[in-house]
C-alpha cells in the first residue's frame, strides 16, 4: 500500500497494521529517491538588467543538471572623487565610497604634515644633517687637501727643455713649463 499522508486520522484508534503500511509506503518513497552522484552546470545564461535570477534543476541518471540565469548588472559610469578633506596631523587617513548605481564616488581625508621649523629657528637636526655652510666648508677643505697633496702627481710630467724656432710654439712651450712647475709647488 502506498504512503497516505492523511492516515492515521486524528482521533482514530491506533492500528499497528495501518502504521506498518504507512512506514512501508515511506520506505518505498525513500528507496525510489535517486542518489545524486554528480552535479553538472549545463549553462549560464545572461538575463536583462533587473530580471530575477533563475535556476532550473533536473536529475538525469543520478546526475543533477543545472541551468542558471544571471541578470546583467547596471552599466558602470565611472569613478568620481567628490572631495578631499585635510585632516589634522596624526589623524588616520580616510576613504569613503558610495556607488549610486552608475558611478563610484570617493571622498578622501588626508592628514597634513606636522609643522616643522625652517632650520634657522629650530634645534639642530638629527645626526647626519649638515647646514649649507658646513657642507661648503667641508668641500673646500677637501679640495685644498687634495690639491695640496697632489703636487707629486706632476713629478712624472717632464718639462719641455728644447726651445722651438717658431715664436708662437715657443710661447706655448714656456707656458706649459710654467704650469707643470707651478703644480709641483
Predicted confidence at residue 152, as pLDDT, reads 58
Please name the helix (run of DSSP H) or strand (run of DSSP E) that holds residue 50, with its range, or none.
none
Task: Tell me, yes or no, whether 8 lies in a domain.
Answer: yes
Q: Output the pLDDT for position 140.
A: 65
Same domain, 148 and 175: yes
- Which pLDDT score, from 0 to 100, does residue 139 have? 67
Query: Could you tell me how far CA 82 lies from the centroid of its own chain?
Result: 22
Position 58 scores a pLDDT of 92
Range(s) of the domain holding residue 102: 78-111
- Could you tell me which residues come within 8 angstroms of residue 18 by beta carbon, excluding any fewer than 6 positions away? 7, 8
pTM of the model as a whole:
0.33
Same-domain status, 14 and 42: no
Q: Average pLDDT for consecutive 10-residue bins of the chain (185 residues)?
A: 78 80 86 86 91 92 91 78 88 84 82 70 62 72 58 69 84 80 70
> Would residue 61 count as lying in a domain?
yes
Tally the domains of the chain.
4
Amino acid at each position: 500500500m502506498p504512503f497516505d499522508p492523511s492516515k492515521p486520522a486524528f482521533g482514530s484508534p491506533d492500528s499497528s497494521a495501518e502504521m506498518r503500511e504507512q512506514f512501508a509506503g515511506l520506505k518505498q518513497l525513500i528507496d525510489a529517491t535517486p542518489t545524486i552522484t554528480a552535479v553538472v552546470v549545463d549553462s549560464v545564461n545572461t538575463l536583462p538588467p533587473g530580471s530575477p535570477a533563475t535556476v532550473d534543476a533536473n536529475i538525469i541518471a543520478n546526475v543533477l543538471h543545472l541551468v542558471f540565469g544571471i541578470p546583467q548588472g547596471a552599466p558602470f559610469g565611472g569613478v568620481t572623487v567628490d572631495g578631499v578633506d585635510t585632516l589634522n596631523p596624526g589623524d588616520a587617513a580616510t576613504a569613503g565610497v558610495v556607488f549610486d548605481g552608475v558611478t563610484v564616488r570617493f571622498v578622501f581625508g588626508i592628514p597634513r604634515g606636522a609643522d616643522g621649523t625652517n632650520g634657522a629657528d629650530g634645534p639642530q637636526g638629527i645626526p647626519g644633517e649638515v647646514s649649507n655652510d658646513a657642507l661648503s666648508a667641508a668641500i673646500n677643505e677637501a679640495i685644498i687637501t687634495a690639491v695640496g697633496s697632489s703636487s707629486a702627481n706632476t713629478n712624472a710630467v717632464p718639462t719641455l727643455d728644447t726651445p722651438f724656432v717658431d715664436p708662437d710654439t715657443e710661447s706655448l712651450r714656456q707656458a706649459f713649463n710654467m704650469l707643470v712647475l707651478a703644480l709641483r709647488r
